[in-house]
Structure 1
């Protein structure tokens, strides 16, 4: 009988912790399990894909060039988000409540925000990279290692600067959604917290979004002008322009699907105190953001012919089913060829 007391005590403590962290039954046990499976699948896939990007880049010298630095930086940021954000969320969902304590909440919230914003800034740096390569005619601006390193360093510094204030009292990291993960405090109506969230939204979402839109708009405009110049010499330039346009549309849509719901949710909650959002619905934007660790490497890296031609044989023991793909059929290859027509060498 006495031997059962430690077991009962542990059970009671676990139940008490669950009540403290989640006083309401926000989701059934099956619901938490489903969420754990979803985030687990995306986290494992994200870890695998982004580790693959880093390993392949290290293994192939031709990939270690300035234009690929931002791509690898994006993979590292997504890897951090998957490891420090996706995996803990999978564990807490599997348990049905946030079991990491207050310190764990702060660390998890900071890690997700830090790696997430660094990745978001990396996407903006990629857009600027492509703008510089394509839209600077006659080699006026050569994209060099110092530019690439500067963009990478800026993305991490920018993210660090704007994600550390909650650690020192300007806002905070709190449980969100179904209360199995943490994020910046979107709910507090205190003036200091609202000022932080507003500045955070403007500098960490609006600014990168504007950079991406301006850079890709200029890129498409430049390609359009090149198409007009070469249309009588090479009829394939129209097809080339359409490929790049599709690539840009996919990138922008992916960005909006990842970050716009999260930003819209945060602003809605902040500016409308009476607004009620079901916790399960409030969890969706967070999952969309964390799932970017999977489709970012697919869109930005494995759609890049140069990376793909190195990664596929690496995975398939030397076999590449796309080896016979004709030159110029890849959008990123097209960007390089267009830049050469402007006498800017991307490699």
Structure 2
């Protein structure tokens, strides 16, 4: 499960109150009390059709299956809500829903701990696609002397041990979602041995999506069609002369990946849960820039921007539903050349 749902019904006037309280009051209070993992709150409302039979609402009326049962009868007296809401909840349980009332549906992403619910399945695909659809990615003007490139942020299943020191693994985790990352070949003249997303320069006449798919096939042997493209993240301009256009791709359950020996030293499937760690991101100040360097911890090591910045924005936008920007984050000085 990616999200849990809470269904209720209320008057038109109270629908706004519920949504505001969930976003601005209840969730912050839960987090302040140390109850982890409430992000990506989405609230949908639709008017109840008068042809719906009243008995159909038996399954909707305060059918509470999230917040660790915080809304349950046994804990309703806990001081998480203003008295008005406690009274309103009690009052509504005594009412019959009317045709002009709203049904309130709340979906809450629950990234907690290892996030074992982040399976590589259709639910995750739809969830990420919806978040990207709501995200207005920013394109950067191509500066003089810069070249356009595209990278593939590809979601696959973990399948096997990531082979990165410090990342735990159990066989039951093989269906979890992961991001395809590579270690660049030690033979390359630039950025040899560094962490990277499959990608490269955009050829004349190509769209970023086409480049990302082409590079994915060239570097790791994964051939996918345009229907696997599910969205874009912000452009990121590097110190080394590129404007990178990240393309989010749904790979799904894929096997038989083969590293191109001329470009790739190793292929890694890093669980998305690894990027949800509490110590991520790491921000470091450097004397060469007024902006902090962004690093993403992975296992016992770390990944540096620009790859780290893209992974961090993927986490924020695709998993947590936040419109976080990353173009201002700096790269380590060694990556400037």
The TM tier, using the shorter chain, reads under 0.3
More strand by share: 2
Structure with the larger RCO, 1 or 2 (CA within 8 Å, 6+ apart): 1
Q: Would you tell me which structure has more helix in proportion to its own residues?
A: 1
